Each structure stands twice: as C-alpha cells, then as structure tokens.
C-alpha cells in the first residue's frame, strides 16, 4: 500500500513571493496544505487566492507571537506594537511580565482574521517558531476550542533526528513541546505527529537529504514541515529566512522529489486526508 505523508508549508501570507510559491506547489500536488499568517495587511488578498483550494488542501492557522507587528497594537506583549523576538518572549511570560490576556487577545485577533477571510475554522493550528507549544498558548487553545467535533488538528512534537547535525535544534524544540501531545490529546485535539523537517536553514543544501530521509522513514500520516518561497522585497523586510526558501521550493517542485516518493512507495496526502 502507498504510505501517505503530510507535507505542510509554513508561512503562507508572510510575503507575496512566499504565498505564490506555496500556491504553485499546492496546485501541483506537492503539498498537503499550508498554515497562514493572518496579521499582515495583504492577508485578505492572499485569502482570496487560497480560498478556491479549500477542500483539497489543508489550510491552517500559523500563530505568530514573534518579530512581526501585533494585530492588537501596543500591550504588555508588544510594548511598541511589535511582537518580541523569541528569546525575549518565554522568560517574561514565565515571570508574569507579559499578561496572558494580552497574548490571548492577539491570538483571538489572528484567529478572527482567519475565520473572517475564509469563512471557516482552520483545519489545523501550528506556530511560527513553534510558539503553539508555549503554556500560555496551550491555555488559549483549550479555551478557544470546546471539546468535540470540529476542533482543529495541532502540530505535535518533533521526532528524534537521524543526524547529529539537527540534534540540538530538535532537542530545543522538543523541550518546548514537553507534554504537549498528551495534554492536547487529553483535551480532545487530534495531534499530527511525529514532526520532521527541522534542519539548519542557514545551510539550505541540507534540505533535500532531510526530506529524502523523512520520505523513507515517516510512518503513515507522518508530518513534514517546510518553508518554500520566492524571495521578494517584502520578505527581505520581514524575515531572515530567505535563500533557503528558494532551495526548498526548487526541490519540492523537482522530478527528484517525485522519484524519491515513488521509490519509497509514498505519496503526498491531500487536504481531505
């Protein structure tokens, strides 16, 4: 039997070039779906472009608490209206310097923009820089989504890597995700796991080998996260991950990727599961 794998692209809506690349890969059946960043001014236009894919692509919400402008403006989370770097988020949260209510208001606003633009709940939820694993976000998820039918799936914790090169990154994300899968499943969510796709994007030539390894080893319904895109001026002004996006797009669009799937007896799952 063909083993079906989930390939999810992060960051739809981050910049026009990123969104265009993801739409092309979705149209070619090279991705299962994508998670959307809804806080940018261009979001409603990007929502119009992705809306026709609803049904055959999984369209999720990419919760964002770092580095970008806050939808809700100034607060204890974003004193000057801009969300903090990841390194300046976790400790202030633990020490109570950032009010849970401000974080929840920001997440409510991002979720509201998703539902308003697409007319539906997200198929799944994950987090930019894995912020959905934070305790404050776990609390928001339980509050926002009542236990029962229609709850979004959640991106789960990472699998242990096959190479030493990615071990530290996976360990750091794994520590942030400790207890997430079990507690969220206990709250009624479906958790998509194991997660793979972590690598050092500053060395983008490693992407193809990470993806080929995942194709060979992921179980049925396993999840691979990726960040394809085309670099444009908007992206340059918003995010440091640039050249790696072009490399990821090129490989995902390539014949070599298709051949790797065929050799492994695997296929990209579509959004209907």
Answer for the pair 115, 161: CB distance below 8 angstroms, yes or no: no
Asked whether residue 121 carries a pLDDT value surpassing 90, the answer given is yes
Positive or negative, the Cα torsion across 170, 159, 230, 47? Answer: negative
In a domain, 273, yes or no: no
Answer for the pair 71, 109: CB distance below 8 angstroms, yes or no: yes
For 139, the token pair is 């609390």
Report how far residue 191's alpha carbon sits from residue 256's, in angstroms, rounded to the nearest whole number: 30
273 versus 253: the higher-pLDDT residue is 253
Asked whether residue 257 carries a pLDDT value surpassing 90, the answer given is yes
Structural domains of the chain, count = 1
Asked whether residue 116 carries a pLDDT value surpassing 80, the answer given is yes
Question: Residue 97 — very low, low, confident or very high, per pLDDT cuts 50/70/90?
Answer: very high
Report how far residue 38's alpha carbon sits from residue 147's, in angstroms, rounded to the nearest whole number: 25
Question: Residue 118 — very low, low, confident or very high, per pLDDT cuts 50/70/90?
Answer: very high
The average pLDDT across 127-132 equals 97
In a domain, 157, yes or no: yes
For 30, the token pair is 């090279």
Question: Residue 226 — very low, low, confident or very high, per pLDDT cuts 50/70/90?
Answer: very high
pLDDT reported for residue 164: 66
Query: Which residues, listed in sequence order, are joined to residue 76 by a DSSP beta bridge?
Result: none
Kind and range of the H or E element at 266?
strand 266-268
The boundaries of the domain holding residue 56 are 3-268
Choose among 105, 86, 108, 89: nearest CA to 97: 89
pLDDT reported for residue 147: 76
What are the DSSP calls for 144-171, one per residue?
Answer: HS-SSTTPPEEE-PBPPPSSGGGHHHHH
DSSP 3-state of 225: strand
Q: What is the CATH number of the domain that holds 94?
A: 3.20.20.370
For 222, the token pair is 């396993």
């Amino acid at each position: 039997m063909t083993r079906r794998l989930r390939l999810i692209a992060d960051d739809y809506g981050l910049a026009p070039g990123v969104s265009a690349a993801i739409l092309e890969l979705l149209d070619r059946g090279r991705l299962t779906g994508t998670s959307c960043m809804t806080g940018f001014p261009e979001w409603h236009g990007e929502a119009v472009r992705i809306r026709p894919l609803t049904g055959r692509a999984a369209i999720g919400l990419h919760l964002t608490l770092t580095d970008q402008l806050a939808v809700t403006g100034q607060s204890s989370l974003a004193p000057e209206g801009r969300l903090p770097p990841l390194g300046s988020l976790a400790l202030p949260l633990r020490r109570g310097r950032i009010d849970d209510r401000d974080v929840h208001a920001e997440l409510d606003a991002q979720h509201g923009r998703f539902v308003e633009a697409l007319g539906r709940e997200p198929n799944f939820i994950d987090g930019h820089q894995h912020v959905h694993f934070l305790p404050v976000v776990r609390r928001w998820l339980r509050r926002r989504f009542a236990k029962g039918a229609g709850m979004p799936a959640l991106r789960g914790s990472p699998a242990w890597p096959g190479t030493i090169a990615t071990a530290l990154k996976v360990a750091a994300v794994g520590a942030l995700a400790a207890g997430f899968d079990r507690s969220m499943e206990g709250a009624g969510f479906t958790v998509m796991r194991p997660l793979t796709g972590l690598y050092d994007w500053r060395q983008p030539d490693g992407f193809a080998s990470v993806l080929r390894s995942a194709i060979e080893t992921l179980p049925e319904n396993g999840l691979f996260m990726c960040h394809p895109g085309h670099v444009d001026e908007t992206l340059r002004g918003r995010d440091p991950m640039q050249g790696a996006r072009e490399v990821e797009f090129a490989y995902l669009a390539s014949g070599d990727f298709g051949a790797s799937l065929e050799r492994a007896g695997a296929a990209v799952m579509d959004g209907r599961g």
